[in-house]
């Protein structure tokens, strides 16, 4: 299953309104991770390619529940 930013936001809609986001450029590739601010929640990592986002990291508990490994 491909994970999306929309899925991340839906999973946290009742937990938080504010999110912390950190972007970094590594070897010419932009990545960012996002986490609900000031509450417990998941941290997901995305790569940016133009206007396309690719989820490259989800919590291991989510991977186990869907059978995915990223």
- Please give the average pLDDT of every successive group of 10 residues along the chain, which has 70 residues: 86 80 94 90 93 89 53
Query: Which domain does 51 fall in, by range?
Result: 5-66
- Predicted confidence at residue 40, as pLDDT, reads 84
- Predicted confidence at residue 69, as pLDDT, reads 42
Strands (E), the chain: 19-26, 29-36, 44-49, 52-57
Number of structural domains the chain divides into:
1
- Predicted confidence at residue 16, as pLDDT, reads 60
């Amino acid at each position: 299953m491909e994970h999306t930013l929309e899925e991340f936001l839906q999973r946290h809609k009742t937990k938080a309104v504010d999110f912390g986001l950190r972007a970094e450029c590594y070897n010419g590739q932009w990545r960012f991770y996002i986490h609900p601010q000031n509450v417990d929640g998941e941290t997901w990592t995305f790569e940016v390619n133009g206007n396309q986002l690719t989820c490259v990291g989800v919590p291991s508990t989510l991977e186990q529940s869907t059978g995915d490994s990223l």
